[in-house]
């Protein structure tokens, strides 16, 4: 098999892993279809967008996860790189300026330890033989020996252990070769490694880095019956217990005929998008999962972003007076984000704010006007007493329902 053929098979096979930001890109057109060539984009800790070669070391898997194209029971073309081939390929792509780093994943061939050892060989070749200092994100294989996870952690920038399914029951049903323990153990190990490394580096700047860009995970949405509420609570727990940098949500894409899987008309992309928005509220806006989705609301609203949906359920918290509200209160107003809240605080130190000042400060009035007052007066048209605000807002212009139109900015 030629190297080009291997790149075709293993680049395409890596497409279903959403742990890089542009992994889900399925746009048509001849220009910019990075995922086809195995290139994806991610964000470094300093906010830079970096392009990564996203590829599997092998797609020959000993496991048989119901949802996966690479499962052992599928009759698909199989290929594996040698460590030398993949390291050389990465360096060639890097020298040609195609990529700035590598996202390395793999099916489990032979055993978790053997797979992990081979992945480490690739990274060792890059770091030691090629003196490659670029970004490397590597999958940690559940069930691999802790020493291998530690060795990998000293070589790469980010490690991720994929949870895949949101409950132990679903894991047993759809990925019977995996276990909750095999997934959570490496997560615990990576977390303690990061914490210890921070302490070591405070003592000595010469101490080697251990997973400096932190750890992340991926969850498949829609392959199993768990609610958004269940998923969000799980994510919150993962952020708190394992100090994850990111949980990536991946809409279930049916690629196999399997009676254990649901029949979906299309991948639940709007649901995936709403989960990202809700996750953002938890990580950046001080919301708790229980507030975003209380017990009586198991699923996110498809028509409104999670912040607006929360505001509509909690009208007693509004209107917020922009000339007096605390920063945290402002952050909870639909249409006001971090930047506009900071600008409001800075501007009102100089003079009282007027309604016409708000758009200039970045406030999205289309949403905010229902929830704020300026010196006691509503910022927009008066809302008829007893009006159904949800219906009114929908009539004014529904939130985009098509995934192509959705952006993270929608949560402001």
Separation CA 161–CA 187 (nearest Å): 7
Count of Cβ atoms closer than 10 Å to residue 303 Cβ:
15
Residue 367, interface with ligand SF4 (CB under 6 A)?
no
Separation CA 399–CA 405 (nearest Å): 9
Residue 211: closest CA among 281, 139, 277 = 139
Which H or E element spans position 345? Answer: helix 338-348
User: How far, in whole angstroms, is CA 160 from its chain's centroid?
Assistant: 11
Cβ distance to ligand SF4 smaller for residue 70 or 233: 70
Residue 271, interface with ligand SF4 (CB under 6 A)?
no
**Nearest approach, Cβ of residue 108 and ligand SF4 (Å):** 5
Residue 65, interface with ligand SF4 (CB under 6 A)?
yes
Q: How many residues bind ligand SF4 (CB under 6 A)?
A: 9
Cβ pair 90, 99 in contact under 8 A: yes
**Nearest approach, Cβ of residue 106 and ligand SF4 (Å):** 8
Q: Is 207 exposed, middle or buried (0-12, 13-18, 19+ CB in 10 A)?
A: middle
For 80, 302, 333, 339, 364, the CA distances from 412, given in Å and listed in that order, are: 44, 16, 8, 10, 8
Q: Which of 70, 160, 197, 216 binds ligand SF4 (CB under 6 A)?
A: 70
**Nearest approach, Cβ of residue 253 and ligand SF4 (Å):** 13
Q: Please name the residue that has the structure tokens 């007027």.
A: 354
Residue 274, interface with ligand SF4 (CB under 6 A)?
no
Of 67-75, 198-206, 270-278, 329-337, which part binds ligand SF4 (CB under 6 A)? Answer: 67-75
| Cβ within 8 Å of residue 29, ≥6 positions away | none
Q: Which of 39, 89, 107, 253 binds ligand SF4 (CB under 6 A)?
A: 107
Residue 63, interface with ligand SF4 (CB under 6 A)?
yes
Q: Which of 20, 57, 68, 238 binds ligand SF4 (CB under 6 A)?
A: 68
Can you give the length of the chain in residues?
412
Q: Which of 55, 61, 312, 325 binds ligand SF4 (CB under 6 A)?
A: 61
**Nearest approach, Cβ of residue 20 and ligand SF4 (Å):** 16
Contact string 200-229 vs ligand SF4 (x = CB under 6 A): ------------------------------
Residue 320, interface with ligand SF4 (CB under 6 A)?
no
| Cβ within 8 Å of residue 353, ≥6 positions away | 322, 323, 344, 347, 361, 374, 375
Separation CA 258–CA 203 (nearest Å): 54
Q: Please name the residue that has the structure tokens 């990529």.
A: 99
Separation CA 367–CA 382 (nearest Å): 14
**Nearest approach, Cβ of residue 59 and ligand SF4 (Å):** 7
Q: Which of 39, 79, 86, 108 binds ligand SF4 (CB under 6 A)?
A: 108
Residue 275, interface with ligand SF4 (CB under 6 A)?
no
- 3-class DSSP state for residue 172? helix
Residue 76: closest CA among 93, 91, 56 = 56
Residue 246, interface with ligand SF4 (CB under 6 A)?
no
Residue 15, interface with ligand SF4 (CB under 6 A)?
no
Residue 18, interface with ligand SF4 (CB under 6 A)?
no
Separation CA 255–CA 68 (nearest Å): 7
**Nearest approach, Cβ of residue 80 and ligand SF4 (Å):** 12
Contact string 156-195 vs ligand SF4 (x = CB under 6 A): -------------------x--------------------
Residue 304, interface with ligand SF4 (CB under 6 A)?
no
Contact string 19-58 vs ligand SF4 (x = CB under 6 A): ----------------------------------------
- What the block records as the tokens of 378 is 């509503």
Separation CA 165–CA 218 (nearest Å): 9
Q: Which of 6, 15, 71, 271 binds ligand SF4 (CB under 6 A)?
A: 71
Residues that bind ligand SF4 (CB under 6 A): 61, 63, 65, 68, 70-71, 107-108, 175
């Amino acid at each position: 098999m030629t190297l080009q053929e291997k790149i075709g098979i293993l680049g395409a096979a890596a497409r279903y892993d959403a742990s890089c930001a542009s992994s889900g890109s399925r746009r048509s057109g001849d220009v910019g279809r990075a995922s086809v060539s195995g290139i994806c984009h991610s964000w470094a800790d300093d906010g830079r967008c970096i392009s990564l070669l996203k590829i599997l070391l092998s797609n020959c898997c000993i496991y048989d996860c119901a949802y996966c194209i690479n499962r052992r029971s599928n009759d698909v073309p199989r290929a594996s790189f040698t460590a030398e081939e993949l390291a050389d390929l990465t360096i060639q792509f890097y020298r040609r300026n195609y990529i700035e780093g590598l996202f390395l994943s793999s099916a489990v061939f032979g055993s978790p330890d053997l797979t992990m050892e081979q992945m480490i060989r690739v990274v060792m070749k890059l770091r030691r033989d090629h003196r490659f200092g670029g970004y490397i994100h590597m999958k940690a294989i559940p069930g691999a020996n802790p020493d291998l996870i530690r060795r990998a952690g000293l070589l790469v920038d980010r490690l991720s252990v994929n949870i895949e399914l949101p409950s132990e029951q679903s894991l047993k049903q759809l990925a019977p070769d995996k276990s909750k323990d095999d997934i959570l153990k490496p997560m615990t190990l990576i977390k303690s490694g990061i914490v210890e490394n921070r302490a070591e580096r405070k003592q000595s700047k010469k101490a080697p880095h251990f997973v400096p860009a932190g750890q992340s995970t991926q969850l498949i949405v829609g392959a199993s019956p768990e609610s958004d509420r269940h998923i969000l609570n799980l994510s919150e727990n993962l952020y708190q217990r394992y100090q994850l940098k990111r949980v990536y949500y991946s809409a279930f894409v049916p690629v196999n005929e399997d009676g254990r899987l649901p029949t979906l008309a299309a991948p639940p992309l709007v649901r995936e998008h709403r989960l990202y928005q809700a996750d953002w509220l938890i990580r950046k806006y001080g919301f708790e999962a229980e507030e975003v989705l209380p017990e009586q609301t198991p699923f996110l609203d498809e028509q409104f972003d999670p912040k607006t949906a929360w505001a509509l359920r909690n009208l007693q918290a509004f209107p917020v007076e922009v000339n007096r509200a605390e920063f945290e209160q402002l952050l909870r107003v639909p249409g006001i984000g971090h930047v506009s809240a900071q600008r409001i605080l800075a501007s009102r130190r100089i003079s009282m704010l007027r309604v016409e000042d708000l758009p200039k400060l970045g406030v999205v009035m289309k949403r905010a006007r229902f929830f704020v007052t300026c010196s006691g007066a509503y910022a927009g048209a008066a809302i008829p007493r007893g009006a159904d605000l949800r219906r009114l807002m929908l009539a004014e212009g529904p939130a985009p329902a098509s995934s192509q139109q959705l952006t993270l900015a929608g949560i402001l």
